[in-house]
Structure 1
Amino acid sequence: MADVTILHNTACSTSKHALAEADNTATAAEVVHYLKTPLDRAALLALIGKLEDPPADLVRKDPHFAQLGLDADDFVTPEAVADLLVEHPRLMQRPVLIKGERAIIGRPKDRVRPFLEP
C-alpha cells in the first residue's frame, strides 16, 4: 500500500522532483498521471477538502489560463475550482501530494520532503 499519492505530470520538473524525493525518503508512492486519468468533480472536491493550501492555489494561472480568457477571481471556491479542473485538467497545479487526510501542492519544491517525512 502506498504511503502517498502523487498527482504527476511527466513534463513538469517540479513534479519529477516530488517523485525523486519520494524515492530518496523511501516513501511508497502511488503515481497518478492526472492528464491521462483526470479526476472527476467528486474526487476534486475531496482533494480540495484535504488541501492545506487555498482552493484557488490548485489552479495554474499560466498562459493557457489567460488564453481561455479566465479571471482568477472567478475560481476561489472549491466548487468553482473543481468545475474548472474537470473541464480543463491541464490547469491543475502540480504536483499534488496526498497522505491520509492531508494534501499539499508541491510548490515550492522544498515543501515536498517535510510532507513526506513521518
Structure 2
Amino acid sequence: MSDFPVTIFHNPACGTSRNVVAAVQGVGLTPEVVEYLKAGWTRDQLTDLLARMGASPRDVLREKGTPAAELGLLDDGVSDDTLLDAMVAHPILVNRPIVVTPLGVVLARPSERVFEVLDRRPETFTKEDGEVVRL
C-alpha cells in the first residue's frame, strides 16, 4: 500500500479498467485492486460508493455484456432498490472501474478520469491501445 491509498474495483478483462490500474501505478502509487466479479458487492458497500460519487444505481448500471436487459433493468420505472438488489446478485451489472481515494470516488470512464481523485498526475497518459491523452 502506498502513502496515498487507492482502491480500484477492477475487471481484468476490461481495457478501461486495465488502463486505470496502469495509470495509478504509472504515477508511483500502489493500488489495492479488488476484482469485484470474484469478490462481489454488498448492498451497503454499493450504497456507500454511490453516495460518495453523488450517483444513482442507474448511473453505474452496465448494459453491455450483462443480463440487464433480460432482467428488465433498462426500463425507466425500475427502482433504485431493484437495481441494487440485481447488482448484488449479478456483480457484472456494475460498471467499472470504480476508484476510491481520500480525494473522492469516481467511475473512471474514460480512464483518465482517475486523475480527478489522485494526488498527482503526469502531463500525458498513454492508454494500452497507444492513445496519448494530454492532461
- TM-score of the superposed pair, with normalisation by structure 2: 0.75
Higher helix share: 1
Q: 1:58 aligns with which of 60, 70, 74?
A: 60
Q: Percent identity?
A: 34
Aligned to 2:7: 5
Summarize deviations over 1:44-103 as a string: whole Å, max 9, x none: 1111111144432211022532233322424563x3432221111111100000113721
Contact 1:41 1:82 in 2 (8 A): yes
User: What residue ranges of structure 2 are gaps of 5+ in the alignment?
Assistant: 121-135
Aligned length: 117
- TM-score of the superposed pair, with normalisation by structure 1: 0.84
Q: Which has the higher contact order (CA 8 A, sep 6+)?
A: 1
User: What residue ranges of structure 1 are gaps of 5+ in the alignment?
Assistant: none
Q: CA RMSD in A?
A: 2.1
Whichever of the two has the greater Rg, that structure is 2
